[in-house]
Amino acid sequence: MAGAVGCGEDEKSRAQEAWEQSVPPERLCGGAAVSARAGKALELIAGSSRFEASGRTSTVADAAQDLSDQFTSSFTGHGDVCRIFTPVGVPDVVPLEITWRLSGSAPEGGPGSRYTELEMGELAGTAPDRAFVTFACRSAELPGVAPAHVDLHVSFGAVPAEPEGDVEALVDAYATVAHSFALAMAKELGCADDGGLEAQPSLDPA
């Protein structure tokens, strides 16, 4: 009986410590990637207003440098920006994964049947468990005549169950987060006209 109580207290203590060390969404992934609006969207997706602090190199700035390095040697590449976790003690949420992909050509066709297409950048799509925004970037960081085509993707880090609650709100939330990371990446890369991305996401279906 005493052992069971002790274990429960230890677990509660760890959860309390994790919560005290957690950060608000605007400080995730280097502190420049999550707008206030995207922070609210992350809270809706994760069911929490606090998150584990991101790793020292899990930032948009590091991802932009990696993208630039890969562009120098090839017009294609891919990599991670960061992963987002809720603190210990919050109901289990599989981490969100933010990744980038680089291409030498513009996207062709629509976003695919699983997505609702949005009017952002060159192509954008959103769903109840993921979203992406693709934009064209001309920058001194990415030398060459042709622009680079960068895709920022936000996804639930596992095969998701059927979405619960307000599905439309989830769809908008993922799109908002994807736009925030795409805009942060465009600014970090020094893309002309921020890669054609507006300051706020366009959530109306194309």
User: What's the pLDDT at 5?
Assistant: 46
- Regions in the chain scoring below 70 on pLDDT: 1-20, 89-94, 158-165
Identity of residue 76: T
Are 107 and 149 contacting, i.e. CB atoms less than 8 angstroms apart?
A: yes
User: What's the pLDDT at 47?
Assistant: 87
Instruction: Give 176's DSSP letter.
Output: H
Tell me how far apart the 2 most distant CA atoms of the chain are, in Å.
Answer: 72
- CA 18 vs CA 56, 88, 98, 99: distances in Å: 18, 6, 22, 26
- CA 40 vs CA 8, 45, 203: distances in Å: 32, 9, 15
Q: d(Cα 99, Cα 31) in Å, to the nearest integer? A: 17
Are 175 and 203 contacting, i.e. CB atoms less than 8 angstroms apart?
A: yes
pTM, two decimal places:
0.88
- CA 79 vs CA 47, 94, 152: distances in Å: 27, 19, 10
- CA 17 vs CA 4, 12, 14, 75, 150: distances in Å: 20, 9, 5, 45, 38
**Coil, helix or strand at residue 189:** helix
Give per-residue pLDDT as tens, 121-134. Answer: 999 999 999 999 99
Are 99 and 81 contacting, i.e. CB atoms less than 8 angstroms apart?
A: yes
**Cβ-proximal residues to 183 (8 Å cutoff; 6+ apart), any chain:** 35, 194, 195, 197, 199
Give per-residue pLDDT as tens, 85-101. Answer: 988 766 666 689 999 99
